[in-house]
Every structure is written in structure tokens, then in C-alpha cells.
Amino acid sequence: MKKLLLTLAILFSFAGTAKPDFIYVTSLTQWEEVLALAEANRKMIYVYYTSSDDCEPCDFMESSTLGRDVVEDYLNENYLSIYIREGTSFARSFAAGFDIGSVPSSLWMTGSEFVWKMEAGVMEHEKFMRACDKVGFLTQNYGSIMPYAMRGGDTLSVEEWFDLFYIAGANQPQYETRLVSAFRNSLNLDSLKSDRYWPYIMTYVSDLTSPLYQYIKIDWEQTLGEEFPWQAYYDRLYNFNLEIAVSTMDSSMVENMELQLLPTVVRDSADPENLLAYNKLLLWQDYYLGLNDFENYIRVTDEQIIKLEPTDEQMVEIIRTHTSLSRSDYSLDKATEWLNACIKMKPSVQLYIMKADVLIVRNKRTEALQTLGDAQEMSPTEEEQELIDLLLYVIHSTY
């Protein structure tokens, strides 16, 4: 014990003027000593992870929150306060190990590296003290709350469930699935309209085949309320499921997204009638591009673009994305082929301008001039005429 206390004194000598009485840790050896000290002295650990560069949020956090007497006194009495600054190999390993993605970040933990709470970003001192109170409640009651939650936890608040989800996910991942299942089984669907449940939905209802998602998607405004952030939820589900589909190379997941998710996109009267078909094309393009499968990306575009009958704006986006991926002769010729097919269906000045632009990049100036002539015959707007004049200037200046 005397050796541990001596080590504590040595580590505190690095603390400088920061508040509270921070222990500056820059190596794994120092961190292991801190863990041993925390266990031996039955102290919890507060870790403040900050930037090595100029960081206004970090400065604010240190002066306006950690510099307050009430915060300093609380941490000095109840915690070993650790200061870790970006820039060292240890700091990088620590950030990776605890999934720290931004500065400043705060972690409340024990000497066994059991994380009770983590908060990213600036915390004003009132919020900081509430977080400390929450950690105190959880450390005192976790042993009884977790088994109760596993049995259904009928009287637990949504906030308590989320705390348990986080703790289980950060420390004992095998519990998280069981917790989610217990919460789902005890959930009253009528209560989903309460915004208190929205974080649960946004975080855990991601399986597009689950009965709960099927219930929600039938009429999400009726089920969840008109204020539910459906577009943000849609985007999260899209990215989450697509990432899994790509990582597992599972096209059946993409098919499920096409059937279950795409029809739920929020629409308004200004959206084109073919929006669903357009989103279908983008989905499959995203999937094959995620696999770096340019051949199938081309194939699916070939198959769907004629059926789609894209608007000018959609076609511009398709061509812009396509030509940003590759400027090879094959890729540019494909872009010209798709544009020709759309012009044949419904010619427009915008499509002619885009075709001329691709032909110029392809170094086919004569064809580009002819295409711009076709555009001018369609009575372009003033803005379109400016684009035509610009492309004409580019062609003539290169001769």
C-alpha cells in the first residue's frame, strides 16, 4: 500500500495547474499504475480526454466546468481524475480501445476498466454534475437493476433502460441483446408515441424484418407521432443496413431494403412520380460501389435507367456521380450512351449541355459542337445559354 501511495504522489507531481488534481497519463505503465491505485484505494476514475492542439471547446470545458469549485471538490473527493492529451501512442490506443471519437470526452470508470458512462463534447457544469449523480446511482443499484431488467423490468424508466443498454454494450456485450429483447417484450406499442421512446427506436429498431419495424412502417405518423424525425431514422436505417449488406456481400439485404425501407421515404407534392424507382437505382449503385464492383454498377445502371425515365435533375446527378468515379474512355462512353437514351425519350437543353460536357472531356469536339447546336435550337434559358457559351469557349480555346 505504501508503494502505491508513493506512486500516487509521483504521478500527481505531473499535474501542473489543471483542476481538479489531475494525474497526467502518457504511457501504458502509468495507466496500469492508476488502475491499481483506484482498486487499492476503492476510488472510481474520471478520465478527461482532450486535444493536443488549440481547442476552444476543450478550453471552455476546463475553465468553465472542471475549473468550478463544486466540480473540483466532488472529483477530488470521489475520483482519481486522469488527464489524457491526444498525440501520444498511448492516447491513440486509449481512444481506440474506448471508442472515443471527439474531444473533449469524459469517461467515468472503475479500476477494472469498467465504463459506467461516457460523454462526448463540452459539458456545462450542471450537466456534468448530473452525469456524476447518474453514475453514483448506477454504481449503487446496478447489481439489482440488471437482473430485474432481465426479468422484464416493468417499472424501469426508459432512461434507466438506456443506461443499462450502454453499460452492457460497453462492458458486457452478451447482455445487450438480452436486454433489448426484454425491453421489446415489455413494451406497450401505444407508448411509442412518446418521444421518450424515440432514442430506443432510433438506436435499436434496425432489423427491417422485425415485427416492431413492420408495425411502425405501416403508418409511422400514427404509430410514433408526426414529430418523430423519420428522415433521420430513414437515413440511419439505410446506412446501417447497407453497411452490413456490403460487409457480408449479401444482396438479399439490399432486396429487403428495396421492399421494406425505400417505400417509407418521406415525400411531398414536388417529388417526381418516379422517386421510388430512382431511389432503387441509387441503392443498387451504392451497394455495388461499396463492393468496388464497377462492372455490376454499370450493369444495374444499364438495366434500370431506361425503365426509370429519369428527370433532367436525376440524370444530371447520375452522370455527375458516374463521371466522378471514373474518367476512362469506357466510363465516359457509357455516360454518353445513357444520355443519348434519355435524349431520345425526352430531349432537353440540360441533357444536351451535359452530353456536350462529356464529349469535350472525351476530346470529341466536333460532336460536342453539334450537340450544343441542338441545345440552342431548343430555346435555352439565359442561364442555360451562359453554360452553352462557356462550353463553346472551352472548345474553341483548345483548337
Which residue in the block uniquely carries the three cell numbers 454534475? 129
Task: Assign domain 267-397 one CATH number from 1.10.1060.10, 1.10.600.10, 2.40.50.500, 1.25.40.10.
Answer: 1.25.40.10
Give CA–CA dist 31/90, Å, rounded: 9
Q: What is the mean pLDDT of the chain?
A: 86
CA dihedral (172, 173, 176, 178) positive or negative: negative
- Burial of 164 from C-beta contacts in 10 A (0-12 / 13-18 / 19+): buried
Condensed to tens digits (0 to 9), the pLDDT of residues 378-389 reads 989 999 999 999
81: β partners: 46
CA angle 32/38/50 to nearest 5° reads: 65
pLDDT at position 19, please?
Answer: 61
Condensed to tens digits (0 to 9), the pLDDT of residues 117-155 reads 888 889 998 999 999 988 888 888 887 888 888 887 777
Per-residue pLDDT band at 92 (split at 50, 70, 90):
very high
CA angle 364/293/285 to nearest 5° reads: 80
Residue 353 vs residues 281, 317, 339, 372, 394: alpha-carbon distances, Å = 23, 14, 10, 6, 13
Give the count of beta carbons closer than 10 Å to the beta carbon of residue 330.
Answer: 10
232: pLDDT strictly greater than 60: yes
How do strand 23-24 and strand 79-85 relate by DSSP bridges?
parallel
From 389, 396, 361, select the one nearest 375 (Cα to Cα).
389
| Mean pLDDT along residues 195-218 | 84
Give CA–CA dist 114/170, Å, rounded: 8
pLDDT at position 4, please?
Answer: 46
pLDDT at position 15, please?
Answer: 43
Q: Count CA atoms closer than 13 A to 143's CA, side-chain side.
A: 2
Give CA–CA dist 80/46, Å, rounded: 6
Instruction: Enumerate the domain spans of the chain.
Output: 2-139, 267-397
The answer to whether the predicted template modeling score (pTM) of the entire model surpasses 0.85 is no
- What is the CATH superfamily name and number for domain 2-139? Glutaredoxin (3.40.30.10)
Examine residue 229 and say whether the peptide bond preceding it is cis (omega within 30 degrees of 0): no
Give CA–CA dist 116/145, Å, rounded: 14
